[in-house]
Amino acid sequence: MPDVNFALGTMGFGTKVDAATSLNLLDRFAGVGGTLVDTANCYAFWTDPSGRGGHSEEVIGQWLARRPSLRDQMYLSTKAGAQPVGPGNWPANREGLSASALKAAAAEGSLRRLGTDRIDLYWAHMEDRTVSLAESAEGFGALVAEGVVGQLGCSNHRS
């Protein structure tokens, strides 16, 4: 696991920031010793006419595929729970934090788009009060037990 010295947020990669520029920024980031790349499976659904996210993860996956030796130097951080899963108003139509959503829609999709076998830091992107905390914790714990997730975090949760 690399030492984490500074991070690069990639929310606009593949949408507001085109793929070529995104790849160049990732190269420059790695070239100056950056080690933590942060994204989310929903980035940036609100800018895409389809209403789908995953663009940022796809760009990072393309970058890692072109530079496979960098994977072990990078600490990959991604988030789950906010991706729209169908028509309707967001956030009511988001994937949420059920154990099945965390595994299928989020972890498996993120791993595929990132082109990797592990997520170093996996975040609950936003709270989901429709699912018990126990179920979400068990879902995250199962991913850690399977070895596809290293560490866990929460963001955008009310106290």
Which residues are catalytically annotated?
43
Sheet strands (E) in 52-129 = 75-80, 119-124
Tell me, what amino acid is at 122?
Y
Beta strand extents in the chain (DSSP E only): 7-9, 36-38, 75-80, 119-124, 149-154
Pick from 9, 18, 70: nearest CA to 39: 9
